[in-house]
Amino acid sequence: MAYTTTAFPEKFLWGAATSAYQVEGAAYEDGKKPSQQDIINQHSYEERGFATADIASDHYHHFREDVALMAEMGLKAYRFSIAWSRVIPDGTGAVNLAGIKFYHDLIDELLAHGIEPIVTLYHYDLPWALVERYGGWISRQVVDDFETYARFVINEFKGQVKYWTTINEQSIIVQYWTRKCFIPEEMRGDNQLRYQINHHMNLAHAVACNLVHELVPDGMVGSVIGYSPIYPLTSHAEDVMAAQNAHDLRNGYYLDIYFKGRYTDSAMAYLERHGLAPKIDPGDMELIASGTSDMLGINYYASECARWCPDDGSKQMRWNGVNLTGKKGDINGFETHPGFYEMCKNPNLDTNDWDWAIDPIGLEYLLRDIYMRYNKPLMVCENGLGAFDELTADGHVHDPYRIDYLEKHIAAMKRAMDYGVEMLAYCPWSALDLLSTSNGVKKRYGFIYVDRTDDDPRECKRYRKDSFAWYKDVIESNGAGLSL
Ligand code: BGP
């Protein structure tokens, strides 16, 4: 694909991203109480050989060193999340002063280094106390409690934080709901709950948008969507229709809420037909429509592929497939909705070791598609390559595969910009190595290597990878140094 010759805008935010439970550690320190992720992951090591979230990258104790490294890389922005269970450990009630101080110190440190904070209010880590009290996101009560938490946090940082994102990856929460939310064993057969939880998140998202508009006059707010463009496996009309169906249920169903304040009709018809549609109370859609988004954060790793799936009883409905081993091809299945679509491998794309298709053009395609439909500024809040990196005896990490991946994705984003897409920021995943949501710490994404394994947290010493120096050059030249 031809590359562009025009420059990136002067104010373009070159950034990087993390999330609280995946990077901070100190899960039970200084007054923090468990989040549902601390509980969901508490037996990960015994069950799968994956580290727990207890120490993660120990960013809580290393954050000044980490921010200094980010500044050395030249980052203009850092997208991170605030752990509700650190700030208000019981979910409601007393604020944990040490917890809120941590985020004050982090944000002060970022600003002192000229790095713009991009704050995510919620990234999978509901306070466990709320799960114990009323089942967490299963209950509508969570929306009110989220409002209190969000109001407190936004008020606290409104003078320093301009960019706010609400809830990370609702679409992925629906797909992988037992990993992203604590769902008691006996409720896991009730798939309607996936969409009910999502409906509650839509309400919470709208509440947060309204709060930012109320409290931060020059602020910008939006959701962060986990997004894969969906290609038809073949040009047979059935496969093309299947890809449209998959788009409607997996992507449109969220985008239309954020930008149009309504559910996508085709997806809703499918959900209703199968008894999966959320229960909508009077006033809900008015609240959702009132919470307008100023922008959208996009997490893009891979495109996906769909084919037609007949409704003849040969296949069961399922929502996901996952590769837990990091051996290519070891995926345990594909999302299937008989009579609507079935996801499948794209034979035209290579994958990473966990079967995620590598597809830079997919990023150009989705950015142009979303911008053309909704015309709001976009930011890439996550994009990156999970890989088994190796620390050499002399303290280096050679990760040309990551450089190649990122370079091609930046080029794709730039082509989209040349076609008119308004991009605010590019925040690859991840600033530093951290705990993967699905594959332990052995699946690494960072520019900064964190010396720990799933078996042994060691000292979490930091090392600059080759991609660190490469990204520094990209930022320094405002993209002009890219070799594509
Ligand atoms: C996104 C999440 C991140 C992140 C990333 C990579 O879905 O927002 O939290 O971890 O994916 O996924 P994984 O960690 O499973 O490799």
Predicted model pTM: 0.97
- Quote the pLDDT of residue 483: 62
The confidence band for 265, taking pLDDT boundaries of 50, 70 and 90, is very high
pLDDT (tens digit, 9 = 90+) per residue, 359-383? 999 999 999 999 999 999 999 999 9
Cα torsion 359, 361, 365, 367: sign: positive
**Is residue 311, in this structure, part of any structural domain at all?**
no
**CA–CA distances in Å: residue 388 to residues 79, 299, 441, 464, 469:** 24, 21, 9, 16, 19
Average pLDDT for 58-85: 98
| Long-range pairs of 440-444 with CB within 8 A, sequence gap ≥ 24 | 440/44, 440/48, 440/49, 440/50, 440/51, 441/50, 441/51, 441/56, 442/50, 442/326, 442/388, 443/326, 443/353, 443/354, 443/386, 443/387, 443/388, 444/386, 444/387, 444/388, 444/389
The confidence band for 232, taking pLDDT boundaries of 50, 70 and 90, is very high
Provide residues with CB under 6 Å of ligand 1: 19, 22, 168-169, 172, 226, 299, 382, 386, 429, 436-439, 443
pLDDT above 90 (res 481): no
Range of the domain at 121: 13-303+361-476
**Is residue 310, in this structure, part of any structural domain at all?**
no
Atom number in ligand 1 closest to CA 354:
16
pLDDT above 70 (res 5): no
Of 116, 169, 304, 407, which one is the catalytic site residue?
A: 169
- Quote the pLDDT of residue 257: 98
**Is residue 22, in this structure, part of any structural domain at all?**
yes
The answer to whether 274 and 317 are in contact (CB under 8 A) is: yes
Distance 69 CA to ligand 1 centre (A): 22
**Is residue 7, in this structure, part of any structural domain at all?**
no
**Is residue 426, in this structure, part of any structural domain at all?**
yes
CATH code for the domain of 72 = 3.20.20.80
Active site (annotated) includes residue 47: no
Atom number in ligand 1 closest to CA 386:
16
pLDDT above 60 (res 4): no
Distance 437 CA to ligand 1 centre (A): 5
Averaged confidence pLDDT in the chain: 97
**Is residue 156, in this structure, part of any structural domain at all?**
yes
Active site (annotated) includes residue 109: no
| Percent of the chain scoring above 70 in pLDDT | 98
pLDDT (tens digit, 9 = 90+) per residue, 400-439? 999 999 999 999 999 999 999 999 999 999 999 999 999 9
**Is residue 160, in this structure, part of any structural domain at all?**
yes
**Is residue 86, in this structure, part of any structural domain at all?**
yes
Query: What is the number of structural domains in the chain?
Result: 1
Average pLDDT for 52-57: 98
Atom number in ligand 1 closest to CA 19:
9
pLDDT above 80 (res 146): yes
